[in-house]
C-alpha cells in the first residue's frame, strides 16, 4: 500500500531512476542528424533526398491546381445546367403547364440547395 501511495519509496528501494528522452521529427525531409548519417554512409544521398522531396512537392502542387480547375468546371457545368432547366420550367409555364413547371422548378431548387449545403459544409 505504501508503494502505491508513495512513488519515492519505490525509487529508494531499487536505488536507481530511469529517465528517457523522446525526440520526434515531422516533415518531408529526415531530421538533420539522420540526413547527415545518410550522407556519411552514401555520399550524395542528401542531395538525392532533397531532389526527391522537391519532385514530390511539385507533383502535389500540380494535383492541387488540377483539382481547382476541375472544381471550377464542375460548378460551371452545374450552373449552366441549372439555368437550362429553369428555362425549361419557364417554357412549361409558357405552354400553360403549371404543374410541370412547378415540379421542374422544385427539383432545381432542391439540387441547388444540396450543392450549396455540400459546399458550405466542406469548408
pLDDT in tens, 61-95: 888 888 889 888 888 888 888 888 889 999 999 99
Above 50 in pLDDT, residue 2?
A: no
Domain count, the chain: 1
Q: How confident is the model at residue 15 (pLDDT cuts 50, 70, 90)?
A: low
What percent of the chain stands above pLDDT 70? 82
Question: Under a CB-based contact definition with an 8 Å cutoff, are residues 36 and 57 in contact?
Answer: no
Q: Which residue shows C-alpha cell 410541370? A: 100
Q: Can you spell out the DSSP letters for 3-57?
A: HHH-HHHHHHHH------------SSS--HHHHHHHHHHSTTHHHHHHHHHHHHH
Count Cβ atoms below 10 Å from residue 89 Cβ, excluding itself: 20
Between 106 and 119, name the one with better pLDDT.
106
More confident residue, 32 or 116: 32
Indicate the pTM of the whole model.
0.46
Q: Summarize pLDDT for 37-64 with one digit per residue, the tens.
A: 989 999 998 899 989 989 888 888 888 8
* Domain carrying residue 104: 2-122
Amino acid at each position: 500500500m505504501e508503494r502505491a501511495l508513495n512513488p519515492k519509496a519505490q525509487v529508494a528501494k531499487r536505488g536507481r531512476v530511469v529517465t528517457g528522452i523522446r525526440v520526434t521529427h515531422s516533415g518531408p525531409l529526415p531530421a538533420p542528424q539522420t540526413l547527415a548519417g545518410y550522407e556519411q554512409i552514401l555520399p550524395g544521398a542528401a542531395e538525392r533526398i532533397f531532389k526527391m522531396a522537391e519532385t514530390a512537392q511539385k507533383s502535389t502542387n500540380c494535383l492541387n491546381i488540377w483539382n481547382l480547375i476541375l472544381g471550377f468546371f464542375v460548378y460551371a457545368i452545374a450552373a449552366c445546367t441549372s439555368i437550362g432547366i429553369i428555362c425549361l420550367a419557364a417554357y412549361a409555364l409558357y405552354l400553360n403547364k403549371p404543374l410541370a413547371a412547378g415540379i421542374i422548378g422544385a427539383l432545381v431548387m432542391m439540387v441547388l440547395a444540396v450543392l450549396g449545403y455540400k459546399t458550405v459544409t466542406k469548408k
